[in-house]
Amino acid sequence: MRELKILAVVVALTLVTYWGVEPFAHSQMHPKVAPADFEFKDLTAQTEAVEALKGDVANGQILVTSNCTACHSIESQGFPKVMDNASSAAAYGVTPPDLGTAGKIYNDRYLAAFIQDPATASQTSHKFVDGKVHPMPSYNWMQPQEIADMIAYLKSIAPAEMTNKEVYSDSCQRCHGIKYGDMLNGTMASFTPNDDIKKYMGKLPPDLSQMIRSRGHHYLETFINAPQKHLEGTAMPRVGLNEEAQAQVIAYLEEVGDSKKDERNELGPKFLIYLVIFAIFAWLWKSSKWREVH
Ligand code: HEC
Ligand code: HEC
């Protein structure tokens, strides 16, 4: 009888912890935020006119190569970097990304909105006040047809497939290093030198090697798509990736930061089976011993 009472107390305490304390702690440590919005609904008004049009690739090529390649490289189309990373960082605060893959990794609506007004689209307007302006000019003086043409061109040159690492490089590496990506702090260091990016962002963007462990999947899924939801006023821009590209970035963070995850997951069920078999033997052994005693 006494044993049963002890069991009841243990069960009651466990249930209180599981349904009472744990969810409370979780809600404090991970406040609930809306799920990722891959339709970028807040940008609908700016992009309606562009979305209604069909882009012309040939005209888009002329527009992109006469406007954008002043700052951005498009290596795959024979437009190398205008300056090395350090000089472009000194000029713009951050090394502008190569545009060869923009048509593949960014959401179409986001891209249309970003070209017209980078600060609004990336939700960083709060940083560009008191005479400070976003280093990329707004192309809101262009006709919607011209924006549609540029997007059509960027899509036409984008590769059909990209590795997770490539998506990461093109969307995050201008600001973030991920030193475990190569264990040498060499090629996976941030493209922008630390001092410059710190000046541009107000703080050094953290190395992302262990982010998958310290923040977890769920946090990253909502954070990358809208950093302001988690860190109000943060300098990190919304990066505007589409769902597929974002999944690839998170997969890359996992490859680098938690490469043993599959092994671990595989081990779990095996360990449970072992415990069950062990428990059966323990019980059999116990009952044989008691039989001898009585
Ligand atoms: C004066 C230099 C300059 C010009 C010209 C320029 N950009 Fe940019 N662009 C930048 C810089 C700098 C960034 C990075 C800004 C940041 O990360 O805060 C950037 C970022 C981008 C991004 C990444 C957006 C994101 O959310 O990650 C895209 C896409 C882009 N530019 C497209 C274009 C296109 C298309 C054109 C031509 C119509 C263009 N840019 C012209 C400097 C420029
Ligand atoms: C234009 C620069 C820039 C780009 C591009 C950028 N980040 Fe950031 N990121 C920052 C800055 C600055 C911070 C620090 C934010 C803070 O503490 O307020 C940050 C913080 C973070 C954090 C930590 C958030 C936390 O809870 O502390 C994660 C995770 C992250 N970035 C992931 C990414 C990923 C993934 C990408 C690419 C899809 C990316 N970032 C692209 C500038 C950038």
Query: pLDDT per position in the chain (294 positions), as tens?
Result: 888 999 999 999 999 988 888 888 888 877 788 888 999 999 999 999 999 999 999 999 999 999 999 999 999 999 999 899 999 999 999 999 999 999 999 999 999 999 999 999 999 999 998 889 999 999 999 999 999 999 999 999 999 999 999 999 999 999 999 998 886 556 899 999 999 999 999 999 999 999 999 999 899 999 999 999 889 999 999 999 999 999 999 999 999 998 888 888 889 999 999 999 999 999 999 999 988 877
76-79's contacts with Cβ under 8 Å and 24+ in sequence apart are: 76/100, 76/157, 76/159, 77/157
The Å distance, Cα 239 to ligand 2 centre, comes to: 9
CA distance 197 to 176: 9
* Interior angle at CA 11, CA 5 and CA 24, nearest 5: 140
Which pLDDT does position 131 carry in this prediction?
87
CA distance 150 to 139: 11
Contact criterion met (CB below 8 Å) for 72 and 170: no
CA distance 225 to 115: 18
* Interior angle at CA 191, CA 135 and CA 236, nearest 5: 55
Contact criterion met (CB below 8 Å) for 50 and 147: yes
C-alpha 55: how far from chain center: 29
The Å distance, Cα 96 to ligand 1 centre, comes to: 6
Amino acid occupying residue 103:
G
Which pLDDT does position 30 carry in this prediction?
74
The Å distance, Cα 175 to ligand 2 centre, comes to: 8
Q: Is the CB of 211 under 6 A from ligand 2?
A: yes
Q: Which residues contact 213 (CB under 8 A, 6 or more apart)?
A: 257, 258
Pair of tokens at residue 119: 């600060």
Question: Any residues with Cβ below 6 Å from ligand 1, and which?
Answer: 64, 67-68, 70-72, 92, 94, 96-97, 99, 102, 106, 111, 114-115, 122, 135-137, 139, 150, 174, 237, 239-240
| Nearest-atom index, ligand 2, CA of 239 | 38
Which pLDDT does position 122 carry in this prediction?
96
